[in-house]
Amino acid sequence: MGEFRYLVAGLGNPGPEYEMTPHNLGFLTVARLAERYSARLSRFECRALVGQAVIAGEKVLLAQPQTFMNLSGQSVKGLAEKYELTPGGVILVYDDLDLPWGSLRIRERGSAGGHRGVEDVIRCLGTMDFPRLRLGIDPGHPVRDSAKFVLAPLKSAQKQELDPLLGDAADAVESIIAEGVAKAMTAHNRRAPGTKREEE
């Protein structure tokens, strides 16, 4: 057993130009957790900014991989190996264009769903069996160029909704750690406000 029980890795891209974009919701969630637990994301390990917190009595490593999105797996794998964590101890947080903006979806395992950062994590860990929190970014209208959309600045209306969304996301991560994935799914998997369909 290593020093940490969990690694919470939020996916995103480093640099101020990417900070407030849909693709950085994973980064922003980890930053919210760090703020909540007075953790400093200041150490650089395995190509990631890392900090540590005690959440629900468990020692947790918080990480923002600095490899750029499509190479996120290198950093996540490096941290998992360094701290002797199994894939089940890696909680991945990332944006998902297949879910409506404002929705949360916890899963115990699953495919990448076309998300390049998650694809790299799966490739590097050699398994799809790790818990993840997906944050919906579908704006509710057709997106012509998804690559361009996820790297474009958040709209003003989305920025206004960002604070409660990140609060909910941090709560969901806490729930996974405190109660396990199954109970966290029951408590936090929900539709976005104003939507009628259930996300898959």
User: Does 188 qualify as catalytic in the annotation?
Assistant: no
Residue 188: Cβ within 10 Å count = 19
Per annotation, catalytic residue among 23, 115, 141, 188: 23
Conformation bin of residue 71: beta by default, left when phi > 0, alpha when psi is -120 to 50: alpha
Mean pLDDT (whole number) for 144-155: 95
CA–CA dist 75, 64 (Å, integer): 9
Confidence of residue 1 (pLDDT cuts 50, 70, 90): low
- Name the architecture of domain 6-188: 3-Layer(aba) Sandwich (3.40)
Q: With a cut of 90, say whether residue 45 has pLDDT above it.
A: yes
Q: With a cut of 70, say whether residue 198 has pLDDT above it.
A: no
Per-domain residue ranges of the chain: 6-188
- The single-letter DSSP state of residue 133 is E
Mean pLDDT over the full length of the chain? 93
| Share above pLDDT 70 across residues of the chain, in percent, rounded to a whole number | 94
The one-letter amino acid code at 182 reads: A
For position 195, what pLDDT does the model report? 47
151-197 per-position pLDDT tens digit: 999 999 999 999 999 999 999 999 999 999 999 999 999 655 544 44
Alpha-carbon radius of gyration of the chain: 15
Q: With a cut of 90, say whether residue 110 has pLDDT above it.
A: yes
Extended strands (E) in the chain: 6-10, 43-45, 48-55, 58-65, 90-100, 104-107, 132-138
CA–CA dist 34, 151 (Å, integer): 23
22-41 per-position pLDDT tens digit: 999 999 999 999 999 999 99
Conformation bin of residue 57: beta by default, left when phi > 0, alpha when psi is -120 to 50: left
Mean pLDDT (whole number) for 60-84: 97
